[in-house]
Amino acid sequence: MIVGLGNPGSAYKSTRHNTGFQVIDLWSRSLGVRLTSRRFQSRNIRTKLRGREIVLLKPVTFMNQSGRAVRACADFIHLPTNRTLVVHDDLDLPVGRIKVVRNGGPGGHRGVSSIIEHLGSTEFPRIKIGIGRPRYGENPEDYVLAPFYGDDSEIMPRVFKVAVRACRLFVFEGVESVMNKINHQNFTNEEEKN
């Protein structure tokens, strides 16, 4: 199961906190599928990828209750915790960075915290997508619910494509392979100028 975190509703669509949703949306479009099911307090689709059954899921519970949807779906399909990959934004990573981790704490992310609470475990892999810190003294709560700065928004489409690739690698090769192939990449403009 690949879970993208975000908040439902058009007001949040292009915000930093919805990077997980944006990755799932991009992947589902490339697969030619739509998240038509409304079960488990989510929008989801069960589909096959080169013979492997996968579930793409976006909780519609708002961020701080994401764990409800993840737990309900995981229980229904009898999925081990380590076969659930969560894609989410990360304030502590600069824009242009993706970090894949095997497990760990929530790092202040309320969606991840909710999933840990509902699964009763930290043993699920994540794809953390860097959104950076506020540049202009914005409150972090307001910052994550705002769109990317103009120069950052130019970088994000490439980041989302790599995140989709990371999801595919997870399905076929597992989290260790994803960490080895993805964690060294950086899409910041500064790196491109060198």
Based on DSSP, count helices (H) and strands (E) in the chain, helices before strands.
7, 6
Residue entry with tokens 């597992």: 174
Beta bridge partners of 2: 56, 85
How wide is the angle at C-alpha 185 spanned by C-alphas 182 and 187, nearest 5°? Answer: 135
Does residue 118 have an active-site annotation?
no
The whole-angstrom separation of Cα 6 and Cα 81 is 20
Could you tell me whether strands 42-49 and 52-59 are parallel, antiparallel, or unpaired per DSSP bridges? antiparallel
Catalytic residue among 17, 88, 109, 118: 17
Contact 78, 118 (CB under 8 A): no
| Single-letter code of the amino acid located at 64 | N
The whole-angstrom separation of Cα 107 and Cα 71 is 20
**Catalytic residue numbers, as ranges:** 17
